[in-house]
Amino acid sequence: MSLTKRHAEKIGWFDAIGHHKYDEEYSEYMRQKNKVTMAFTFSTPGGAELEIEFTYYEGEEPVNNYGDGSGYPGSPSEIEIDKVEWVKENDSVDITELYESLCSDSIINQIKEKALDYAEER
């Protein structure tokens, strides 16, 4: 981690005895630090090819016990779909604004699950 404890103390992310303060500012800092943009191709059951671009936010590990008995439950990994293109022959059409209307909930869940699996394999 590039953020040193001394720097974190200066900006108030550690308390006087060295415990981490998991406030919103730190959570957003970690979210942005662990952010990765990726892409993969998804084939629908109907045979359509979709090129999916997404941002992966790696979750944080839980801290089970500090010396004073406190802890942090961690956070799950998350993805955000940034772009969806329908690929047909040698052309592609950006359907990012429409894909949630065009695809069933089942397909959307499959896309999100595949994106999460794809990211966690990397």
Instruction: Report pLDDT digits (tens) over 2-52.
Output: 445 454 444 455 454 444 555 566 667 777 777 889 999 999 888 889 999
Give the model's pLDDT for residue 93: 93
Q: Average pLDDT for residues 94-112, to the nearest whole number? A: 90
Q: Average pLDDT for residues 98-122, to the nearest whole number? A: 90
Cβ neighbours around 119 below 10 Å, total: 20
CA distance 84 to 29: 27
Closest residue by Cα to residue 72 from 117, 112, 19: 19
Give the model's pLDDT for residue 24: 63
CA distance 19 to 66: 7
> How many residues are recorded in the chain?
122
pTM of the model: 0.68
More confident residue, 102 or 114: 114
Alpha-helix residue ranges (DSSP H) falling in 1-122: 5-10, 24-33, 99-102, 105-121
Q: Average pLDDT for residues 99-112, to the nearest whole number? A: 90
Tokens of 87: 């690929």
